[in-house]
Structure 1
Amino acid sequence: MLRLLCRSSAGSQTLVRWARRSQRGGGLLLHRALSCTSSRRCHGTGSGEVNGQPAENGSSNALYRDSVLLPKTEFPMKLTGQKLLDRELQIQQECGFADLYSWQRERKAKNKFCLHDGPPYANGDPHVGHALNKILKDIRNRFEMLRGRQVHYIPGWDCHGLPIELKALGDLGTSGLSPLQIRQKAREFAEGAIARQKAAFQRWGVMADWDQCYYTFDGTYEAAQLKVFQEMHSKGLIYQDYKPVFWSPSSGTALAEAELEYNPEHVSRAIYATFPLVTLPPKIASQKGLESVSVLVWTTQPWTIPANQAVCYMPNAQYSVVKRVDNSEKFLVATERTASIAALLGTDLQTVGTFTGSLLEGGICKHPTIPDKQVPLLPANHVTMVKGTGLVHTAPAHGMEDYSVASQFKLPVECMVDEDGKFNELAGAELQKLSVVTEGNDKVISMLKQCNALLKEEQCVHSYPYDWRTKQPVVIRPSKQWFINTETLKDKAKEALQKVRVLPESARSSLLTMLDRRTYWCISRQRSWGVPIPVFYHKESGEALINKYTVSHIAQLFKEKGSDCWWELPIETLLPPEVLKKSKAGAVSDYVRGEDVLDIWFDSGASWAAVLEAESDSRADVYVEGKDQIGGWFQSSLLTSVAVRNKAPYKSLVVHGFAVSEKGEKMSKSVGNVVDPDVVINGGKGPTEPAYGADVLRWWVAESNVFSEVQIGPSVLNSARDSISKLRNTLKFLLGNLQGFDPRLQAVDPKQMHYIDQYMLHLLREYSIKVTDAYSEFDAGRVIRVLQAFITRELSSFYFSIIKDRLYCDAEDSLGRRSCQTVLEEILDGVTRSIAPILPHMAEEVYLHAPGHDEGETLFKSGWIKSSSVWRRPGLEEAVEGACAIRDCFLSSIPGKNAARYDLTVAIEPGLLFELMESLQEEPTSTTSQLAELMMAARVNLATKMPRDLDPEALLNHGTFLINLEGGVIREESAYSIAVTPTSAARCPRCRRYTANSADCLCPRCQSVISQAH
């Protein structure tokens, strides 16, 4: 039989009857009331001294001081400075932070969670970007481990690449050093950076087995990477070709798209140049007035003019021949660009003829700077009308779209620029050895002026690609390189991406855009520090020798000896007879080993093969990195995995923003706004840089909206410290009131608890569900908001203010006090576990002080929040929240006054609301009922109507409370009235409630407690 909040007392029989008649389908579903005249849950105490600690003013108060059970705990209210730092390190040691990851890997678990760590770059000290990324990952890993999953998380480092090489060599440069000498210095530099970063990650409390990390310079990793390379090569996805690539003169190597950063403030000398039409297009040759026409082109890269091989037009666009009014020069331009060009030249342009672009086929122009050279007019879809003239100067050696046109129409691809970014001999004596982006550019403009081909020059501020390492402009030049044909992979990659969850979802379009932009991926680099491309070249023909036999052999050598062996071993060992035989190649003496290394994006992009393949699914549940990895690691991992396995290496992607200064600016040493995480934790120079400890840094990460730019600075950190301090205060109150309580022996069954205590368990269950959902969504900020709302509203302003009298003044072992302590222990446990992923140091510190577990136990080995569906009992919400509605009405009648000085009369007509209130107070009048405790009044009278002898000075108020049963099947809106009068009772010298007969005697409750104690 259903029991609804009732004990077997006569005063509750009406509630039982109501429960029976409201029963449907074997159960009673009570829903929160939807409306009332005041808020459902009370958030102000309305009282001051009753629930405060008894003051020591007067001898009578002092008599009973020791009988009041005030909070006691050794848990410190504040930890600052060196004490804080020492305590965090002590917690890490005592609670086994270093062994936690290994412990959870060894335990049996039904479910697994794999977060694959994107490798930070091993080229410098740890910074706040590292902190943001690593702590964000650790919060999720600790949450998953707490709720019973086996976490797979192996930290890694990206160890190759030019920045490491340049920093390692410093001022030495590469002159006179062998590849092995360069590699040795680079390795030493990377190892030093890894050691510093690793130490910082451990200090931040990041959970991992720090002795089992992955490094892209390890032989086993390099061997796994070559296996991916081989499989992609065997599928024809990796090939060697001579085509334009982004080339960094400042680095002396080819770059991939992911290695560029675009400078939106780049200033170019843009020009309008004329290409005289020497052969009119046949389809318009008969038109009059087309004599002496020049094709007008616009370019921001004048240095590419000597390499011009064609001028392109848009077949479907309209073009016009226009004549200058001031000097009768005629130009061919796009019709829609005519007005802009006229304004630019400061003269009117008269239209001579207009026609569709397709009619330009067959036209031939004279090259402006190279005598006797002629170039064709060709159709191309990449021509735009946004800027310029609608006709595009085309230099196949120095533009990606230009190269596509050259491939289609068999144009020559002549490179006039060397690896240092200077004109070579093909450019002619005037230009040779001039840097194309500076004096070479100037010289070409000068040459155009000399031959009257320069119509106009202007400064153009536009976005231009820079080398992300040297911060210098790059050029596009053709080079013989190794490429991945991403054009054939794009559709598969997009399809795989559709099955991936992306947070925030807005990042998905950026991922797709980046994929579309990349038609091929240049993966060879002209450096020494990296994984060598395992290719041999024929000495005479230059033909590449690379196949599954050669690559597999090299991979095995790398696994055993590391990739240094590419330079250390004789070529006879790298290319033994059995491999030559299987490859059907000639003698080993016919070959030389290649000198290029692989792009580091290929290095790190193959990490799934080295780290995840041992996992059953071989896919990570999630990758978590900054937004710069949309075109980097996210994409290189996707492309390599789709190429080899036809699936993405991840099920979800989380894309976070960058750490910026408090003003939202990018951090820069020159500006002086860099925040060093080591200074954040350990303090710096002077009082403006206090030691915050690791948990403040973690709180900063958790509280931030990580999907946008994340600000950090003194005010943000101070706010985080203050928030943690307030949380400590709450936890100290909970711990203090659990002194001497052992939940294993003294916990009260929920059915025997006070209703407000049961109600708090219900709210705790709701809280735990919200927190769990937020962590699951990578939304630690919502966890903090839910936590702070729960502490502020449900605990501090509501529950704590109500129960202090029961906690401090009831008998120590009374049912009411133990009921309250049982709930406080559940709240302490739930709140501590809920913050543990964010504040592991403080959570373990609380756990060391908390009752109910043996010495040596740690929180992180004891699981997630334990809540029970039993806590959600039918009728519970209506009973307590109905009382809270009345309480709000009462407190609003005495604003600013002490509720404990008043008697409260509540009149409710017979019905559901009255029966609910009767369950909280069985007697018509009481000073000790649960209803009186909730109201915090001196006395509560409960009746079906107002008494006739009501004090004429009484304050009257009215309200309604709506009860919904079974989803609205039964609805009852109950009216209630209240009368508030000053109490005639005296204040008890022990509990300070106005419930005593006279000022010098104890109230009945306190008399009973004192007599029992003696």
Structure 2
Amino acid sequence: MLLCRVSTVTQAVARWGRRSHRGSGLLHPALSFSSSRCHGVSSGEGNAQPAEAGPAQGQYRDSVLLPRTDFPMKLTGQKLLDRELEVQRECGFAELYSWQRQRKAKKEFCLHDGPPYANGDPHVGHALNKILKDIRNRFEMLRGRQVHYIPGWDCHGLPIELKALGELGTSGLTPLQIRQKAREFAERAIARQRAAFQRWGVMADWDNCYYTFDGTYEAAQLKVFQEMHSKGLIYQDYKPVFWSPSSRTALAEAELEYNPEHLSTAIYATFPLGTLPPKLAEADVGSISVLVWTTQPWTIPANQAVCYMPNAQYSVVKRADNSQLLLVATERAASLAVLLGTELESVGTVTGSQLEGGICKHPTIPDKEVPLLPANHVTMGKGTGLVHTAPAHGMEDYSVASQFKLSVECMVDGEGKFNELAGPELQNLFVMGEGTDKVISMLKACGALVKEEHCVHSYPYDWRTKQPVVIRPSKQWFINTASLKDKAKEVLQKVRVLPESARSSLLAMLDRRTYWCISRQRSWGVPIPVFYHKEKHTLALSHIAQLFKEKGSDCWWELPVETLLPPEVLKKSKAGPVTDYVRGEDVLDIWFDSGASWAAVLEESDSRADVYVEGKDQIGGWFQSSLLTSVAARNKAPYKSLVVHGFAVSEKGEKMSKSLGNVVDPDTVINGGKDPGAPAYGADVLRWWVAESNVFSEVQIGPTALNSARDSINKLRNTLKFLLGNLQGFDPRTQAVDPKEMHYIDQYMLHQLRDFSIKVTDAYSEFDASRAIRLLQAFIARDLSSFYFSIIKDRLYCDPEESLARRSCQTVLEEILDGVTRAIAPILPHLAEEVYLHAPGHDRGWETLFKSGWIKSSSVWRRPGLEEAVEGACAIRDSFLSSIPGKNAAQYNLTIAIEPGLLFELMESLQEEPTSTSSQLTELMMAAQTTLTSQLPRDLPPDALRSSGNFLINLEGGVIREDSTYSIAAVPTSAARCPRCRRYTAESPDCLCPRCHSILSAP
């Protein structure tokens, strides 16, 4: 016996045989037909029914052990929905999270839930995110880890405030009234979203979630604020910020979206040089005007300087049409000549640094002078190479003002209108509308307007109101992110990012962010606990944090200042009595709210989550705000890994919107809709859609994707039904066969199951559920349906019920059922638990699948020599099948000739006697009879079909290597078909074969 001889040999790396029986078209048509004819059943796993038979065959039908199970192959409509809800109740979905938190576990797995926004109904984006998280959580729980997952909601902010107030607006409402309405709105949205998440089968303790409006959460958030303030990272300043006139509040970069189709009126305007730079004064060419270009003409009244690039070259050019002298960048002159429709003759050239000392006259404000100043942000891609600078309305402009001590005068109010500083002609005009038109007419009136044109460009919009923002200075609270960037980038290098390509986006976002405006001028949020005095301000952070924890942040408006600012805090400020203080009215940016969630939620773990999982929009949002607050407060990232997924889009790849009518409602997906084309798919189809998708790109959803998911699940149910049907009456606890006593093909399938389980485990560990599905489908289609199931049906249906051969097969089927069920469980928890309720080997109602662990595989299943024996036989079988195209393999006697050597000994382990109708080798060949010999006989009949091939055996890394040849002769059998088992092993028609006769004659 070869397996004895090769028991010390390691696993073969030869794969030729495996490829040959797993390729496309791996099962010859004759093989499938043979299976049906031989056993009296169809070849589909779940449709095993007796074939039509004559009187002699029909009398044995009841003696064949056909599959029996009440597990339904398909569930649709209301039956499907009722079954899923029944499974949730019967299998304790609601209690599962608490159960696993109470059990002992060596390791914890912490997935920190990024809080969805509590401002609307659940949508498919929620489904994609929550189900993706749940798949990983259920996998980790199954393999024995204690999962830490606390769902949360982001509850503050302007969108909630606006939706809560509706048409009422804020007129006449106190901050407390506004907050009460906003809280009620958020609570209703949370209730709807939570119910949906539970219906999707998401595992969590839904009675103990976190909410950013909870007092305990707010107190933890203020502690982070206090820690950052004590380090000097949070400060108050008056400088330009993104301001939303439509929302009446400052915005952070993360609250902007850029509209690439924004239409502006761009202008070219002149600033006459009142004082020439020395170099130009020497040239004595006459009056020169500096030419500037801007897409925001409304900022001209706030101009304080014109900036140039120090190392660039500038020219004084003369217009051919009117002799006007203009100062422009030399490399922009040619483009400007085309634009202005006239020749520009150069009359002098200077370097940028030689412009120092020049002073311009402001075009619309008499007697106002503005200097020419150097600046590194000046570029030559567009415009004139000379930049109009309004420090109040540009971030880079403000940097110039800080360096050269320029005035920062704000001429725009919170509504986006010019204020009194802009003068009576402009006051109360909207800067983005009639204000722009008025400034242009003023420039035209004074002769400063050179050209006006429409310009389509990218411009920042308020992501909530979808309206353009402006840049205007105001007194705000900021985080100095510039001082945090280097450390943040350093710790980010130690974080695993999936996909890795997202890391560069994270780093780029950090680089662009020099400061973070965290104050908002609204009522619905966490108040910044500052008290303003005529000379200074005071923060009472520790005291207020405790009050928030006890009473919630409404107390900021409910309690008198004397309570909020106690004597011990006031004593430290040394700035007069409490009556001299006024409480602040700003609230914290909601990105700071959610960004501090690690402080409120991760205290039970090691204070770092194993992973954060959110959509790609959070690269500049929650991922970044969490990183910055954590690095600032404790010098480390709040996460060990980041998973960045794409967005859900329509099947055409379009963003979903009500106007396009392509919105997919997850509730309609599950429960069906009024439209006949919107069936009830159930929650598992929604989960399969998430799992099967490439979540690292845009994820398409629609009827095609959902129907495909449903069909895939139905095919899976078919396989599961076949497995359950053939395990009827089998108890693995008492009837399982030891692997060493099994048929080699059965041992081989355990070997394959172990390999499958290892690969599936790796796939789930990599957040790659789609690979887990592909592995599952390949295992079922190639290893089971087309290979193993076809081979074993004769043993299953026709061998004695208690025989070792049949029990050997059932033992493997039970292991396969268990492994496949657990492999699908993270994705399809409802189906997995339903199968487990029908499966043998455990007491129903006592234990659920999710309480019983991950796939159980044993190293014993991996036996040296076993793979080579079975796959060598498969290679020979493929050669045999290719020689009888379209014919029934069961009607042939085979002679297999192999030269003495390793391959011969491998085949000998499958058939000890020279000729057999019942050996394991014959079973694998699915033939009537097999003869194993060292050479083909010379007297083969004329109708013999001959074929040959070779099989490479490579063991111990090439230490044992043998390329063996084999020859096959297939001869039509002279035996008759047995009326019971349908194999061609009977002596005459309507006569039982020896095996069936023995079974039926047994007492």
TM-score band, normalised by shorter chain: over 0.9
- Within a 5 Å distance, the mapping from 1:831-910 to structure 2 comes to 831-856=820-845, 857-910=847-900
Which runs of 5 or more residues in structure 2 are unaligned? 42-49
Structure 1 match to 2:712 = 723
Contact map agreement 1:297 1:391 (CA 8 A) in 2: yes
1:418 equivalent to 2:399? Answer no
- 1:31 counterpart SS class: coil
Amino acid at match of 1:423: F
What is the distance in 2 between the residues matched to 1:414 and 1:560?
A: 43
What is the rounded CA distance, in whole Å, between the counterparts of 2:6 and 2:695 in structure 1? 48
CA distance in 1, matches of 2:751, 2:711: 29
1:211-270 CA distance string (max 9 Å, x none): 110000010000101111111111111111100000000010001111111111111111
Aligned length: 987
Q: Which residue of 2 aligns with 1:699?
A: 688
Asked whether the equivalents of residues 561 and 578 of structure 2 are also in contact (C-alpha less than 8 Å), the reply is yes
Counterpart Cα distance in 2 of 1:292 and 1:996: 117
Other-structure match for 1:344: 339
Name the SS of the counterpart of 1:154 in structure 2: coil
Following the alignment from structure 1 to structure 2, what is the Cα–Cα distance between the partners of residues 348 and 954? Answer: 95
Counterpart of 1:731 in structure 2: which amino acid? Answer: L
Aligned: 1:44 with 2:27: yes
User: Which residue of structure 1 aligns with residue 901 of structure 2?
Assistant: 911
* SS of equivalent to 1:613: helix
Aligned match for 2:197, one of 157, 182, 201: 201
Q: For 1:677 and 1:323, how far apart are their aligned partners in 2? A: 66
SS of 1:285's equivalent in the other structure is helix
User: AA paired with 1:966?
Assistant: E
Q: Distance in 2 between matches of 1:37 and 1:731?
A: 24
Q: Pairwise mapping of residues 716-795 of structure 1 onto structure 2 (< 5 A)?
A: 716-795=705-784
Over residues 745-771 of structure 1, what are the superposed CA-to-partner deviations in whole Å (9 max), with x where a residue is unaligned?
Answer: 010111111111111111101110111
Q: 1:506 aligns with which of 497, 501, 506?
A: 501
Deviates more, 1:747-756 or 1:363-372: 363-372
1:32 alignment counterpart: 13
Shift of 1:441: 0.7
1:991 alignment counterpart: 981
Q: Does 1:87 align with 2:70?
A: no
Task: Decide which of 796, 799, 808 is 2:785's aligned counterpart.
Answer: 796
Code of the aligned partner of 1:505: E
1:3 aligns with: none
Counterpart CA distance in 1 for 2:406 and 2:997 is 107
Q: Is the deviation greater in 441-450 or in 634-643?
A: 441-450
SS in 2 for 1:416: coil
The answer to whether the 8 Å contact 1:36/1:959 transfers is no
Distance 1:473 1:334 in 2: 31
Mapped to 1, the partners of 2:943 and 2:350 lie a distance apart of 97
**CA contact 2:40–2:981 (8 Å) conserved in 1:** no
Partner SS, residue 732 of structure 1: helix
Following superposition, the deviation at residue 36 of structure 1 comes to: 6.4
- Name which of structure 1's ranges 54-63 and 848-857 shifts more when overlaid on structure 2: 54-63
SS of residue paired to 2:903: helix
Distance 2:390 2:19 in 1: 76
- In 1, distance between residues paired with 2:343 and 2:986? 102
2:45 maps to: none
Post-superposition shift, 1:346?
Answer: 2.3
1:38 deviation in Å?
Answer: 7.4
Instruction: Work out which of the residue numbers 322, 337, 342 in structure 1 matches 2:317.
Output: 322
Q: Which one of the candidate residues 155, 160, 163 is aligned to 1:164? A: 160
* Contact 1:97–1:205 (CA under 8 A) maintained in structure 2: yes
- Superposed CA deviations along residues 835-888 of structure 1, whole A, max 9, x for unmatched, are 000000000000000000112110000000000111110001100000111111
SS at match of 2:59: helix
Change (3 A) 1:162 1:36: closer
TM-score with structure 2 length normalisation?
0.97
The answer as to whether partners of 1:623 and 1:650 remain within 8 angstroms in 2 is: yes
CA contact (8 A) 1:133 1:626 kept: yes
User: Residues 893 and 955 of structure 1 are in contact (CA less than 8 Å); yes or no, is this contact kept in structure 2?
Assistant: yes
Residue 125 (structure 1) aligned with residue 112 (structure 2): no
Judge conservation of contact 1:907–1:946 (CA < 8 Å) in 2. Answer: yes
Q: CA deviation at 1:502?
A: 0.6
Work out whether residues 659 and 712 of structure 1, in 8 Å CA contact, stay in contact via their aligned partners in 2.
Answer: yes
Q: Paired residue for 2:386?
A: 391
Q: Distance in 2 between matches of 1:387 and 1:596?
A: 39
Aligned to 1:605: 595
* Maintained 8 Å contact 1:51/1:801: no
Q: Quote the residue 2:995 is aligned against.
A: 1005
The answer to whether the 8 A contact 1:241-1:480 is kept is yes
Separation (CA, whole Å) in 2 of partners of 1:705 and 1:846: 27
Change in Cα spacing, 1:243 to 1:15, as seen in structure 2 (3 Å) is closer
Distance of 2:177 and 2:495 partners within structure 1: 43
Counterpart of 1:619 in structure 2 is 608
Distance in 2, matches of 1:722 and 1:41, equals: 23
**Is the aligned partner of 1:68 residue 2:64?**
yes
Q: Distance in 2 between matches of 1:38 and 1:832?
A: 26
Q: What is the match of residue 483 of structure 2?
A: 488
Aligned 1:509-548 pairs, distance under 5 A:
509-538=504-533, 540-541=534-535, 543-546=536-539
CA distance in 1: counterparts of 2:511 and 2:70, whole angstroms: 61
% same residue: 84
1:378 to 2:373 alignment: yes
Match of 1:925 in 2: 915
Deviation of the 1:350 alpha carbon: 2.2
Cα displacement (A) at 1:30: 3.4
**Contact 1:41–1:885 (8 Å) recurs in 2:** no
Give SS of 1:389's match: coil
Aligned mates of 1:198, 1:912 — CA distance in 2? 63
Query: What SS does structure 2 have at the residue aligned with 1:73?
Result: coil
Which residue identity is paired with 1:826?
E
The Cα of 1:56 is off from its aligned counterpart by 3.2
Cα offset for 1:326?
A: 2.9
- Deviation (angstroms), 1:35: 4.0
Are residues 1:654 and 2:643 paired? Answer: yes
- 2:564 aligns with 574
- Say if 1:41 and 1:881, in contact at 8 Å, map to a contact too: no
The answer as to whether partners of 2:687 and 2:827 remain within 8 angstroms in 1 is: yes
Contact 1:35 1:961 (C-alpha < 8 Å) held by counterparts: yes
Aligned counterparts of 1:662 and 1:38: Cα–Cα separation in 2: 35
Residues 41, 884 of structure 1: 8 Å contact kept: no
Q: Single out whichever of 750-759 and 27-36 deviates more from structure 2.
A: 27-36
> Residues 616-661 of structure 1, C-alpha deviation per residue, up to 9 Å, x if partnerless?
x110000001111111111111111000100000000111111111
Structure 1 equivalent of residue 214 of structure 2: 218
Distance 1:957-1:288 versus aligned 2 partners, 3 A rule: farther
Q: Which residue of 2 aligns with 1:8?
A: none
C-alpha distance 490-52 of structure 1, shift in aligned 2 (>3 A): farther
**In 1, Cα distance between the equivalents of 2:858 and 2:328?**
77
Q: Does 1:241 align with 2:237?
A: yes
- Whole-angstrom CA distance in 1 between matches of 2:902 and 2:21: 16
CA shift for structure 1 position 322: 2.1
**Distance change in 2, residues 1:34/1:100 (3 Å):** closer
Alpha-carbon distance in structure 2 between the residues aligned to 1:66 and 1:223? 73
In the alignment, what sits opposite 2:176? 180
The answer for unaligned runs of 5 or more in structure 1 is 1-11, 21-26
Residue 458 in structure 1 maps to residue 458 in structure 2 = no
CA shift for structure 1 position 283: 3.4
Give TM-score scaled by structure 1 length.
Answer: 0.96
Q: Give, in whole Å, the separation in 2 of the partners of 1:340 and 1:991.
A: 90
Q: 1:263 to 1:41 in 2, by over 3 A?
A: closer
Q: What amino acid is aligned across from residue 295 of structure 2 in structure 1?
A: T
2:464 is matched with 469
Give the conservation status (yes or no) of the 8 Å contact 1:37–1:959: no
| 8 Å Cα contact 1:37/1:960 also seen in 2 | no
Tell me the residue number matched to 2:659: 670
TM-fit CA distance, 1:325: 2.7
Aligned to 2:46: none
SS of structure 2 residue aligned to 1:692: coil
Q: Which residue of 2 aligns with 1:628?
A: 617
Give 2:969's aligned residue: 979
| 1:24 equivalent in structure 2 | none
SS of the counterpart of 1:332? strand
* Aligned-CA RMSD value: 1.3
